[in-house]
Every structure is written in C-alpha cells, then in structure tokens.
C-alpha cells in the first residue's frame, strides 16, 4: 500500500489535542486525513484534509464516516462500537480493533480482564449503580476508604473520587461504577507500548507521573522515571504482558502503581497516544505520535529511546477563570533553553481544563526538574 502522496485516506475518530498532534506526523509524511469530532472548534480541524462535525457515539455518523476512508484509528475511546464492528465486518481495517476497545472502554470490564489474564491490579468490586454500591456498604460488604470510578466516560480526573465516608458519596452520579482498594504507593508510573499490524513491538522508557492533589490530573511527567532499574524492568515486562493480552495494534499506554514494597499493579490503560508520552515529541528519537502512525500502517517502528531527559508540564485552566483564554508569561518560559510550549487551540478555558503542555529537555534530570518547577510557577492559563 502506498500511503505517501497518494489517494490513501486515514480516518481519525476524535479531533482533540491528541488528534492535532497526530496530524503533525501525517503532515510530515503527506498522508491524507479525515477527522470526525462533535465540536465545531475541535483543535484538529485545521491540520486535516477534511473535517466532519458529528457525534462519535452516533451509529450512522460513525458508520458513514468510516465508509469514506481506507483505515480508521481513534484518539478517544468513547466511540460507537456497533458502527466499528459493522465497518470491520465489511473489510475496513480499524486499529485498535473494536474488540480491544470493547474490553477497555468500560473500566469494570477492563478490571475483569486483568483478573482473567493474571495481570496484577488492585482488588475491586463492580456495581451496576451507585445505589447498589451504597447497599453493599450498608451490608458491610464494602468498607471505607476506597476509590470510586465511574465505569464509562471518565476522563482527565473526572469520574474518579477517593471515598473516605458516606459524605463523599453524596454528589456522585447514579451510574455503573467500581470500587477499588486504595493503594499506598511510592510512585505512579506509565509505559507506552507500540505494536504494529505484523506484530513488531517496542516500549518507551518508564515514566513517572506527579499528580495535582485536588484535580487528580497529571502535573508533571518525568522521563526516565527516578526508580530502581529492577522496578523499571518489572514495569516494562508487565506492560508487555498487558499489550500481548489485549492484542492491541497502535499505542497502548499502561498506567501503574509502584507499591511501598516495589510491586507493580496495573491501574488502567489507554489504547492511543497518551498524556504520559507527550515528552517524546522533543525528548525521544521517535515521538509516540509517529510510532502510532507507523504501527497502524504496518511500517517499521521507530527508535523509542530518549535522546535527553524530558519532563512534561501540563497547562490547565487556572481555578476561578472561565472564558476566552489568555496565556500569561509564555514569552518568559520560551526564553529558557530547552523549553517548548504546545498550545492545543482550545479558545475557551475553565478550571483544570487541559489547554496545552510544555516540554523541558536537558541532559541533566535534576536541572530539568528545576526548570519544570520554574515553568509551572511562571505560566498562567487565565481568561480575558
């Protein structure tokens, strides 16, 4: 198949920042792209050949979009699976496959999958509704504290809450959910695995994630993770096992906990480019976005090693600000060596909304971390 400067059309379901960054790679290789997103202001609309506005959950919309392209991929998991299954039956290559998406889309099914495939994860219970979870507490079948997660449609810290008492349940939605044991951990880690159609597999180095204490969002991604080599090797091995079990194609981001006694437990996965891999645009020989493209087109995978230490700082809307976005002090951070901002193109800000990220590269990890702190303290995402 000739993908380059040809009539080949790649379809992308979702037009957010991940789609926008993926399009930078398709532009590099001159691959035609069609993008579907429900928002008329989707960040990816400007980088594609054709943009279509429509719901990713609507059968007919997704099906018709799929009929216009030669291969389909995603940048978000919440898509209509029935349409994808019909398209796949009709011969359209879809990566990751609808089967893989079905296993991952629902966090309850995802946790069952780990248990069934002997993949280490925290203990959990599934509930059809918040009401059934509350009944379980009344009957002494579930104890505080635990981590509540809605089974579907959670993202960027929404749909997750640490519950320490009945008061924490008051404002939770009455939806299908899971309750997980709260794990005392040293670090939150992630490994991105790239797997091509013909089965070539590569992993990126283990990264360490520092989270915002209130928003449950990643503030910093640090590569390589500042952990013992044996722990890093164990994390890589488990990530490869997860990838093999799901039999996914493209990228799979595996988020994990490093416990107090250095065990590795899988938290959850994302079958697409991921926040924990953004550092790779500047710090790696091959970015996660390029390797996702190489994997789904069955091209040789690129080198996943890092050229230098990389730290990614998320830019999120500051608390208390709503409306047209303004980035304060961006010139100040751009004057620092090794600092590259990525602005996603969302015109409206709100508290904790992901608006961009900044990558810091440096041969010295300690220095990179200091610069990351300076960047975090300097730039502000506010509104007019």
- pLDDT tens-digit map of 188-198: 999 999 999 99
Architecture of domain 123-181: 2-Layer Sandwich (3.30)
Flag whether pLDDT at 157 surpasses 70: no
For the chain, give the number of residues. Answer: 384
Give the mean pLDDT of 11-18. Answer: 98
What is the C-alpha radius of gyration for the chain, rounded to an integer number of angstroms? Answer: 21
What strand order describes the sheet that includes 380-383? 348-349, 323-328, 380-383
Q: Could you tell me which residues are annotated as the binding site?
A: 107, 149, 180-183, 188, 267-268
**Could you read off the pLDDT of 219-236 as tens digits, one per residue?**
899 999 999 999 999 999
Among 250, 260, 342, smallest CA distance to 292 is for: 250
- Confidence (pLDDT) at 318: 94
**Of 88-102, 204-218, 355-369, the least confident:** 204-218
Q: What is the pTM of this model?
A: 0.95
Architecture of domain 185-383: 2-Layer Sandwich (3.30)
Average pLDDT of the residues of the chain: 95
Q: Could you tell me which residues are annotated as the binding site for ATP?
A: 107, 149, 180-183, 188, 267-268
Q: Which region, left, alpha or beta, applies to residue 225 given φ > 0 means left and ψ of -120 to 50 means alpha?
A: beta
**Of 145-159, 199-213, 220-234, 367-381, the least confident:** 145-159
Residues 6 or more apart whose Cβ sits within 8 Å of residue 366? none
Give the mean pLDDT of 253-266. Answer: 97
User: Per-domain residue ranges for the chain?
Assistant: 9-94, 123-181, 185-383
**Could you read off the pLDDT of 130-141 as tens digits, one per residue?**
999 999 999 999
Q: How confident is the model at residue 146 (pLDDT cuts 50, 70, 90)?
A: very high
Among 80, 83, 16, smallest CA distance to 51 is for: 16
- Confidence (pLDDT) at 216: 66
Q: How confident is the model at residue 211 (pLDDT cuts 50, 70, 90)?
A: confident
Q: Which residues pair with 10 in a beta bridge?
A: 33, 71
Strands (E), the chain: 9-13, 32-37, 50-53, 71-74, 124-127, 146-150, 160-163, 177-181, 185-195, 201-203, 207-211, 218-223, 250-259, 264-270, 309-316, 323-328, 339-343, 348-349, 354-362, 380-383
Q: How confident is the model at residue 101 (pLDDT cuts 50, 70, 90)?
A: very high
- Confidence (pLDDT) at 212: 73
- Confidence (pLDDT) at 171: 87
Q: How confident is the model at residue 314 (pLDDT cuts 50, 70, 90)?
A: very high
Q: How confident is the model at residue 215 (pLDDT cuts 50, 70, 90)?
A: low
Architecture of domain 9-94: 3-Layer(aba) Sandwich (3.40)
Q: How confident is the model at residue 19 (pLDDT cuts 50, 70, 90)?
A: very high
Give the mean pLDDT of 164-189. Answer: 93
- Confidence (pLDDT) at 156: 58
């Amino acid at each position: 198949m000739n993908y380059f400067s040809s009539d080949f059309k790649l379809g992308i379901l979702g037009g957010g920042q991940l789609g926008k960054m993926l399009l930078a790679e398709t532009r590099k290789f001159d691959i035609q792209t069609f993008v579907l997103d429900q928002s008329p202001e989707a960040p990816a609309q400007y980088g594609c050949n054709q943009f279509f506005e429509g719901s990713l959950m609507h059968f007919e919309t997704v099906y018709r979009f799929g009929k216009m392209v030669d291969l389909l991929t995603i940048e978000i998991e919440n898509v209509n699976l029935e349409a994808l299954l019909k398209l796949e039956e009709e011969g359209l290559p879809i990566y990751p496959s609808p089967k893989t998406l079905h296993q991952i889309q629902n966090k309850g099914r995802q946790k069952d999958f780990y248990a069934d495939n002997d993949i280490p994860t925290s203990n959990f219970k599934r509930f059809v509704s918040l009401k059934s979870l509350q009944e379980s507490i009344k009957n002494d079948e579930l104890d505080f504290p635990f981590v509540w997660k809605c089974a579907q449609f959670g993202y960027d810290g929404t749909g997750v809450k640490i519950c320490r008492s009945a008061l924490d349940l008051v404002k939770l939605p009455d939806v299908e959910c899971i309750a997980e044991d709260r794990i005392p951990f040293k670090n939150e880690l992630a490994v991105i695995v790239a797997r091509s159609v013909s089965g070539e597999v590569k992993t990126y180095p283990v990264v360490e994630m520092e989270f915002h204490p209130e928003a449950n969002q990643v503030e910093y991604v640090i590569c390589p993770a500042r952990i013992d080599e044996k722990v890093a090797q164990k994390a890589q091995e488990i990530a490869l096992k997860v990838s093999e079990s799901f039999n996914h194609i493209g990228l799979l981001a595996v988020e994990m906990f490093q416990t107090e006694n250095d065990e590795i437990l899988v938290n959850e996965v994302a079958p697409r480019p991921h926040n924990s891999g953004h550092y790779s645009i500047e710090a790696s020989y091959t970015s996660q976005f390029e390797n996702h493209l190489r994997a789904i087109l069955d091209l040789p995978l690129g080198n996943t090693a890092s050229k230098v230490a990389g730290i990614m700082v998320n830019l999120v809307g500051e608390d208390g600000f709503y409306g047209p976005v303004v980035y304060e002090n961006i010139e100040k951070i751009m004057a620092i060596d090794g600092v590259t901002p990525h602005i996603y193109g969302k015109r409206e800000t709100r508290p904790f909304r992901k608006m961009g990220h900044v990558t810091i590269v440096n041969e010295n990890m300690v220095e990179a971390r200091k610069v990351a702190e300076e960047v975090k303290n300097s730039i502000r995402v506010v509104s007019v």
